[in-house]
Each structure stands twice: as structure tokens, then as C-alpha cells.
Amino acid sequence: MKLPDKQCSLQDAIAHVKDGDTVMLGGFGVPGTPFTLIHALVQHGARNLTIVKNDANEPDMGVDHLLQSGLVARLITTHLGLNAHAIELMNTGQIDVEFNAQGILAERIRAGGAGLGGFLSDIGIGTELAEGKQIIEQGDKTFLVEPALRADVALLHADRADSFGNLAYVATARNFNPLMAMAADCVIAEAEAVLPLGALAADDIHTTGVFVDHVTELGALSKEYAVVQR
């Protein structure tokens, strides 16, 4: 038996995104952000997108290119502190922003990928983040209902992949990538190297290729992937 080959061109992969889709983007700051897939998405031009990402990168980087292109209607995120442009779009009503506590966003995505409807948490009780959420009493404790989150498409960045779409991440570039890999109908991964089957040891794979639909190999990395000079 041989595992199927899921290698795909950047353009063919990104063509799966449709107007109105919810698109998850891996990454926390620069590490793990699929900058090349994001550029392809800007070129592709699907509109009215809901983007799910921990942060909005920095001005003129990553998510900011999607915002500048006017393709984003809604952003589900945890923190925009490094992107004043995103904050301006939010404050002037040009995009709708839903803030989640960071671990709650991660767990909602994990639940979505695990075939669950949601989970109970006491995070945010007594603060404005709890407003509008359903409350459940269980035993002598009070919880908020946190619904699972899924997407139409997830765009991920991996360090290494193989042709089946098995993925391995490096250092703090892991972050939301393995969670989002489980939580979308169509999962597209860019990888710095796509290796032949067997080149990644089974013990070193962080995301099984079963979760991944398309994998595309990056050429030379653009400067967005580099250390940010501040």
C-alpha cells in the first residue's frame, strides 16, 4: 500500500476559497503564519471573508494584506495590539471584530476539530467578555457555553511535510496550526520542505496527513518570514 499524494500548486490549492468563506489562518505573530498562502488568497480575491487568526500580524504583513485589499468582513481574533491599521478598521466599522480569550479561541477550534459542539468554561465570568453567552449550572459551579468553531478552509504553515500531507512544525511556529488542521472542511498547508514518504519519521509528525487536503512546497521564503527588525 502507498499513501496518496496531495501535492498541489499554490494557485490550485487557494482556488478552493469561495466568497463568504470562513478561513482559519495559523500563526502567532510571524511564526507559523502562512504568508505565501495569504498572498495567493489576496491574488485570488475571494471576498466577504471571515478570518480566524490569533492576531492581525503587523502593518503590511500577512493578515494586513487581506485587510488592505478589502476582502475581510469579519475577524475572529484575540489581540490586535501590533497592528494599528486593523484597530483603525475596527474602530471605523469597516470590519467586524470578535475578540476571544486566547485559550478559549484555541479550545473552540480544537472542539470544532474534535467533532464536538462546544465546551463549558468559567473564563470571563463577571467581565464583559461573558456578555451574551449562555450560562449553565453544573453541580455548584457556573459555566459559560463556548461553541465549537469550524471553518470552510484552513491555511497552515509547516516546517516540513511529506507528500501525504503529514506535517511537522518548528519551535513556536506550532501554535494554532495543528488545531486548525483539524477544524476545516478544506485544509491547505504550505511547507518549507515537502519530502518523499518516509522521510519524516512517524514519531516526529505533529499533524497526521489525514487532516490535510492539499500540501504545497514553498520556494525561497519572502522577507515576511524573517526576523522582524524593530
- Which residue ranges make up the site for another protein (CB under 8 A)? 28-32, 54, 77-82, 87, 90, 97, 99, 101-107, 109-110, 121-124, 126-129, 159, 169-179, 225-230
Cell of 12: 490550485
Q: CB 43 → another protein: shortest distance, Å? A: 24
Residue placing its CB nearer to another protein in the complex, 43 or 91? 91
88: CB partners within 8 A, 6+ apart: none
Residue placing its CB nearer to another protein in the complex, 179 or 218? 179
Residue placing its CB nearer to another protein in the complex, 119 or 197? 119
Q: Strand 151-162 and strand 167-168: pairing?
A: antiparallel
Q: CB 118 → another protein: shortest distance, Å? A: 14
Q: With beta carbons less than 8 A apart as the criterion, state whether 146 and 133 touch.
A: yes
Residue placing its CB nearer to another protein in the complex, 15 or 228? 228
Q: CB 83 → another protein: shortest distance, Å? A: 9
Give how far Cα 29 sits from Cα of 79, 82, 144, 148, 190, Å.
10, 9, 28, 23, 17
Specify the 3-state DSSP secondary structure of 211. helix
Q: CB 126 → another protein: shortest distance, Å? A: 4
- Alpha carbons 225 and 107: distance in angstroms, whole number: 26
Q: CB 103 → another protein: shortest distance, Å? A: 2
Residue placing its CB nearer to another protein in the complex, 47 or 223? 223
List the beta strands (DSSP E) in the chain.
Answer: 22-25, 49-52, 72-77, 96-99, 118-121, 135-138, 141-147, 151-162, 167-168, 184-195, 214-217
